[in-house]
A and B are shown apart, each in its own frame.
Chain A
Amino acid sequence: MRAFAELLDRLVLTPQRNAKITLMADYFRKAPDPDRGYALAAIAGTLTLKTVKPNILRQLVLERMDEVLFRYSYDYVGDLAETISLVWEKPKGEDIPPLDLSLGAVVHQLETVGRANVHGLVRNMLDQLEGSSRFAFLKLITGGLRIGVSARLVKQALADIGNVDVTEIETLWHGLSPPYTSLFRWLDGSGEKPELDMPAVFHAVMLATPVGDNDLAALDPADFAAEWKWDGIRVQLANVGGTRRLYSRSGDDISGAFPDILEAADFEGIIDGELLVGGTLRSNSATRTFSDLQQRLNRKTVTRKMLEDYPAFIRGYDLLFSGRRDIRPETFVTRRAALSELIEKAALSHFDLSPLVPFSSWEELDRLRADPPDPVIEGIMLKRLDSPYTSGRSKGPWFKWKREPYNVDAVLMYAQRGHGKRSSYYSDFTFGVWTEVEGKDVLVPVGKAYFGFTDAELEVLDRYVRNNTIERFGPVRSIRAEPDHGFVVEVAFEGINFSSRHKSGVAMRFPRISRLRTDKLPRDADRLETLLAMIGTAETP
Chain B
Amino acid sequence: MKPETLLYPTPKGLYCEKGGFYIDPVQPVERALITHGHADHARSGHTHVMATRETLDIMRIRYGEAFCVDTQEAVLGARTTIGDVTVSFHPAGHVLGSAQIAVEANGTRIVVSGDYKRRRDPTCRGFEPVPCDVFITEATFGLPVFHHPDDKGEVAKLLTSLRQFPERAHLVGAYALGKAQRVIALMREAGYDEPIFIHGALTKLCDYYESEGIALGDIRPATLAPKEKQSFAGSVVIGPPSAFADKWARRFPDPVSIFASGWMLVRQRAKQRGVELPMIISDHCDWPELLDTITEIKPGQVWVTHGREEALVRWCELQRIAARPLHLVGYDDEGE
A37-86, CB < 8 A from B: 65-66, 68-70, 72-73, 76-79, 82-83, 86
| Smallest CB gap from A416: residue in B | B274
Assess whether B265 is in contact with A19, with CB atoms less than 8 Å apart: no
- Interface contact B314-A131, CB-CB below 8 Å: no
Q: Is the CB of B164 within 8 A of A26?
A: yes
Are the C-beta atoms of A15 and B145 separated by less than 8 Å?
Answer: no
Knowing A78-B268, A82-B267, the reply to whether A73 touches B144 (Cβ < 8 A) is: yes
Closest to A76 in B: B143
Question: 6 A-B Cβ contacts within 8 A?
Answer: A12-B267, A66-B318, A68-B314, A77-B268, A78-B268, A86-B147
Q: How far is the CB of A476 from chain B (nearest CB, A)?
A: 10
Nearest-neighbor residue (CB-CB) of B148 within chain A: A131
CA distance A119 to B24 in the complex (A): 50
**Chain A positions within 8 Å of B272 at CB level:** 474-475
A6-B157, A76-B143, A82-B266 known; A13-B271 Cβ under 8 A: yes
CB neighbours of A131 from chain B (8 A): 147, 149
Q: Which of A9, A22, A83 contacts B165 (CB 8 A)?
A: A22
The reply to whether B267 and A423 form a contact with Cβ atoms under 8 Å apart is no
User: Distance in Å from the Cβ of B162 to the closest Cβ of chain A?
Assistant: 13
- Interface residues contributed by chain B, number (CB under 8 Å): 39
Measured CB to CB, the closest approach of chain B to A72, in angstroms, equals 5
CB-based contact B164/A69 at 8 Å? no
A contact residues around B164 at 8 Å (CB): 22-23, 26
Structural contact, A69 and B266, CB atoms closer than 8 A:
no
Using Cβ atoms and an 8 Å threshold, which residues of chain A touch B197?
A: none
A22-B165, A72-B314, A86-B265 known; A423+B145 contact, CB < 8 A: no
Which residues of B approach A to under 8 Å, CB–CB?
143-147, 149, 157, 164-165, 244-250, 254-255, 257, 265-268, 270-278, 288, 308, 310-311, 314-315, 318
Complex Cα distance, B315 from A420, in Å, reads 41
* A417-B143 contact given A423-B245, A423-B257, A424-B249, CB 8 Å threshold: no
A171 to B278, CA, bound (A): 37
Q: In whole angstroms, what is the CA distance A65 to B314 when docked? A: 12
Instruction: Please measure, in the bound complex, the distance between the C-alpha atom of A109 and the C-alpha atom of B149, giving whole angstroms.
Output: 27
Asked whether A174 is an interface residue with its Cβ less than 8 Å from the other chain, the reply is no
Residues of B within 8 A of A82 (CB): 266-268
Which A residues touch B275, using CB under 8 A?
Answer: 13
Give the CA-CA distance A499 to B119 in the complex, in Å: 54
Name the B residues within 8 Å of A367 (CB-CB).
none
CB distance from A422 to the nearest CB of B (A): 10
Q: Which residues of B contact A87 (CB under 8 A)?
A: 144-145, 147
Cα(A10)–Cα(B258), bound, Å: 11
> Do A419 and B143 touch (CB < 8 A)?
no
A residues neighboring B (CB under 8 Å):
6, 9-10, 12-15, 19, 22-23, 26, 65-66, 68-70, 72-73, 76-79, 82-83, 86-87, 89, 130-131, 417, 419-421, 423-425, 474-475
Which residue of B274, B315, B318 contacts A423 across the interface (Cβ within 8 Å)? B274
Which residues of chain A come closer than 8 Å to B278, judged between CB atoms?
A: 9, 13
Query: Lowest 6 CB-CB distances: which A-B pairs, in order?
Result: A86-B145, A424-B249, A87-B144, A72-B311, A73-B145, A13-B276
- B165 to A423, Cβ gap below 8 A? no
The residues of A that contact B270 with a CB separation of less than 8 Å are 13
Contact present for B267 and A72 (CB under 8 Å): no
- Given contacts A15-B276, A66-B314, A417-B274, are A76 and B145 in contact (CB under 8 A)? yes
In the complex the two chains form, is A420's CB within 8 Å of B254's CB? yes
Closest to A10 in B: B277
Bound complex: CA of A131 vs CA of B146, how far in Å? 11
Interface contacts beyond A13-B278, A76-B145: sample of 13 additional A-B pairs, CB < 8 Å, sorted by A: A10-B277, A22-B164, A69-B144, A72-B144, A77-B268, A82-B267, A83-B145, A86-B144, A86-B265, A130-B149, A131-B147, A420-B255, A423-B255
B239 to chain A, nearest CB (A): 12
Complex CA distance for A65 and B288, rounded to whole angstroms:
13
Chain A residue at minimum C-beta to C-beta distance from B149: A131
User: With A and B bound together, what is the CA distance between A86 and B262 in angstroms?
Assistant: 13
When distances are taken between beta carbons in the complex, the residues of chain B under 8 Å from A10 are 276-277
Chain A residues, CB < 8 A from B248:
424
- Contact between B311 and A69 (Cβ–Cβ < 8 Å)? yes
Inside 8 A of A420's CB, which chain B residues have their CB? 254-255, 276
Distance in Å: Cβ of A431 to nearest Cβ of chain B: 21
The answer to whether A77 and B276 touch across the interface, beta carbons within 8 angstroms, is no
Closest residue of chain B to A135 (Cβ to Cβ) is B267
Given contacts A22-B164, A73-B143, contact A419 B311 (CB under 8 A): no
A19 touches B277 (CB 8 A): no
Cα separation A421 to B165 with both chains bound (whole Å) = 14
- Residues on B with C-beta less than 8 A from A15 are 276
C-alpha gap A79/B147 in the complex (Å): 17
Residues of the A chain whose Cβ atoms lie less than 8 Å from the Cβ of B147: 86-87, 89, 131
- A8: nearest residue on chain B (CB-CB)? B267
Instruction: Say whether A70 contacts B245, CB under 8 Å.
Output: no
A421 surroundings in chain B (CB, below 8 A): 254-255
**Is B268 within 8 A of A424, CB to CB?**
no
- Of B144, B257, B278, the most chain A CB neighbours within 10 A belong to B144
B74 to chain A, nearest CB (A): 36
Measured in the bound complex, the distance between the Cα atoms of B254 and A420 in whole Å is 6
Q: Which of B145, B165, B274 has the most CB of A within 10 A?
A: B145
Q: Within the complex, what minimum Cβ distance (angstroms) separates A338 from chain B?
A: 49
Q: Please determine whether A424 and B277 come into contact, CB atoms closer than 8 angstroms.
A: no
Q: Is B265 touching A475 in the complex (CB atoms < 8 A)?
A: no
Contact across chains for A475 and B143 when beta carbons are under 8 A apart: no
Residues of B within 8 A of A474 (CB): 272
Instruction: Determine the chain A residues whose CB is within 8 A of the CB of B273 once the complex forms.
Output: 475
Chain A residue with Cβ nearest B273: A475
Known: A423-B255, A424-B249. A69 touches B165 (CB 8 A): no
In this complex, the member of B247, B249, B308, B318 whose beta carbon has the largest number of chain A beta carbons within 10 angstroms is: B247
